[in-house]
Amino acid sequence: MSTSTIDWTADEMMTVASARALAGARTCFVGIGLPSRAANLARLTDNPGLVLIYESGTLGAKPSVLPLSIGDGELADTADSIVSVPEIFNYWLQGGRCDVGFLGAAQVDRFGNLNTTSIARGDGRPDLRLPGAGGAPEIAAHAGKVLIVVRHSDRVFVEKLSFITSVGFGTGTGFRERLGLRGAGPTQVITDLGILEPDPESRELTLVAVHPGVTVDRVREATGWPLKVDGDLATTDAPTERELTTMRELQARTKEVHRART
Amino acid sequence: MAEITNLREAVADLVHDGDVVALEGFTHLIPTLAGHEIIRQRRRDLTLVRMTPDLVYDQMIGMGTARKLVFSWGGNPGVGSLHRFRDAVENGWPAPLEVDEHSHAGMANRYVAGASHLPFAVLRGYEGSGLAAKSETISTVTCPFTGEELAAVAALNPDVTVIHAQRADGDGNVQLWGILGVQKEAVLAAKRVLVTVEEIVDRLDPRPGAIVLPAWVVTAVARVPGGAHPSYATGYSVRDNAFYSEWDTISRDRDTFTAWMTKHVLEAEDATS
């Protein structure tokens, strides 16, 4: 991999690492925002055959610009097929047609469980209301495996979730098996600081790679539980020039189009 | 057969205080202007149902139209929070809002059960999620053939479903295409159906991927060009992504919101011909 001499940001590194995690995947059920950006970068770089599936019912969408919403016209116009929402969830997701589910979240715990529902604020203040579940609970359950992309902070990586919206490894070893969940659960959590993977025994998220220039101490400070670090800690390859150029062109096109439509 | 009417009369006839009302549309074809007419006619105590309540439900909640929200994702897509929805849930402004909260798969199947005239739908869902414990419309059922325990969700049968579509003919047959969401199921699950359309044409010539809802499952059709804005109607308009961003500013503050709604909704003429 030829490393770029161009400067890049932590956010760009996160997106590049997320896109790389889709190498070899055939079908990806994509959440909007960071997952969609990464999945489209993967399609435009190393995985041109990647089938993107959005919960609006667009199968095989090939957007030339990033969608703002899960149902932008660009997704419908470039899709192989458009199906109804009951069909996308029943036949295509529950039916086992999605190799990878790609999710974001407001909170993640050490077992990769996700909260997108509400956050307790304490001090007698009402809970902070988040948008809610959307497609995530069933994506987390049924996709062949799940990738999670979030920015790393101790407000996101918390000791205890305020609410479990979508389940990862629950309370640890054996949890998914007891529930009869068919998918493998979260196999990677990719952040702007590094990459976490579940420990094969305990299922607890463990730091397996840091991005270039990031120290383990910095990741630990940004994690709300005592973070375990893999003995073979790796350093992520920096973004290549091709990855950076492709991503920046995609974002420039996106900005231009969304501005032009006003 | 569907009556071809105007939006004001259709809402007056079909939407009553206390009704369970679904204005459906999955990003595409959202019946925004029908929602504005419901606000203008000062309907109260509605149970609003929608998979993806976005701006028009934020507006209806902020104007005190709703008592309860049944939903699966309540945000401003690609932008962030729905501030009026949050204010209602967190602070009870302008009135407390009860919620019945699902996943998309659960909501979609609730409409499927409603359209099928079944009491509930079966799915693999909600496993390990805290949602099941919070909702009286999520339970479990044991498969009589395999013994497997599965999720069960109660059927949704709205008093009124409102959708926006591209076209209708003079008899009230309705044609829509592009992203179709859960609209067919929401229509067939409802007791009464109002469809707003971009145009009324002599003949519905075929379109790739289009479905036709026959006039005899539709109660009323009203011509409301641009009725989905800031959402869009494939073939007629594009999504006004900039307005979704602007809404974040307009809706953040109670007074700014109220002033905007007064000017653009309460004092606006309805958009019907």
B271 pLDDT exceeds 80?
no
pLDDT in tens, A221-250: 999 999 999 999 999 999 999 999 999 999
Q: Which of A69, A74, A115, A178 to mutate to test the interface with B (most CBs of B within 10 A)?
A: A69
pLDDT in tens, A43-94: 999 999 999 999 999 999 999 999 988 888 999 999 999 999 999 999 999 9
What domain count does chain A have?
A: 1
pLDDT for the residue numbered B273: 43
Domain assignment present for A145: yes
CB–CB contact A258 B242 (8 Å): yes
pLDDT for the residue numbered A260: 62
Domain that holds residue A200: 10-260
Domain assignment present for A1: no
Classify strands A128-129 and A228-235 as parallel, antiparallel or unpaired: unpaired
Task: Sort out which chain A residues have CB atoms less than 8 A from B112's CB and list them.
Answer: 86
pLDDT for the residue numbered B249: 97
Alpha carbons B210 and B255: distance in angstroms, whole number? 42
Q: For the residues A3-24, what does the mean pLDDT come to?
A: 91
pLDDT for the residue numbered A3: 59
Q: Which comes out higher in pLDDT, residue B122 or A256?
A: B122
Distance from CA of A191 to the nearest CA of B (A): 19
- CATH number, domain containing residue A219: 3.40.1080.10
Nearest Cα to Cα of residue B183 among B13, B52, B77:
B52
Domain assignment present for A4: no
Distance from CA of B118 to the nearest CA of A (A): 16
> In chain A, what percentage of residues exceed pLDDT 70?
97
Task: Sort out which chain B residues have CB atoms less than 8 A from A136's CB and list them.
Answer: 103
pLDDT for the residue numbered B78: 84
pLDDT for the residue numbered A213: 97
Domain assignment present for A66: yes
Across the interface, of B85, B131, B184, the residue whose CB is closest to A137 is B131
Domain assignment present for A71: yes
| Res. B11 pLDDT band, cuts 50 70 90 | very high
Across the interface, of A113, A138, A262, the residue whose CB is closest to B103 is A138
pLDDT for the residue numbered A262: 44
| Res. A261 pLDDT band, cuts 50 70 90 | low
Domain assignment present for A31: yes
Alpha carbons A99 and B219: distance in angstroms, whole number? 43
- Inform me whether the C-beta atom of residue B251 falls under 8 Å from chain A C-beta atoms: no
Paired tokens of B84? 């009026």
A4 pLDDT exceeds 70?
no
Q: Where are the alpha helices (DSSP H) in chain A?
A: 10-20, 34-44, 73-78, 85-87, 136-142, 175-179, 216-221, 241-260
Distance from CA of B37 to the nearest CA of A (A): 25
pLDDT in tens, A116-167: 999 999 899 999 999 999 999 999 999 999 999 999 999 999 999 999 999 9
Lowest-pLDDT choice from A57-71, B35-49, B104-118: A57-71
Question: Domains in chain B, ordered, with CATH?
Answer: 3-87+157-266 (3.40.1080.10), 104-154 (no CATH)
A2 pLDDT exceeds 70?
no
B234: Cβ contacts below 8 Å, ≥ 6 apart: A73, A76, B28, B29, B166, B177, B178, B179
pLDDT for the residue numbered A32: 85
- Contacts with B, A 183-222, CB within 8 Å: none
- How confident is the prediction for chain A on average, in pLDDT? 95
Task: Sort out which chain B residues have CB atoms less than 8 A from A94's CB and list them.
Answer: 105, 123-125
Domain assignment present for A125: yes
B269 pLDDT exceeds 90?
no
Q: Which comes out higher in pLDDT, residue A50 or A5?
A: A50
- Contacts with A, B 184-223, CB within 8 Å: 184-185, 209
- Mind telling me the catalytic residues of A? 55
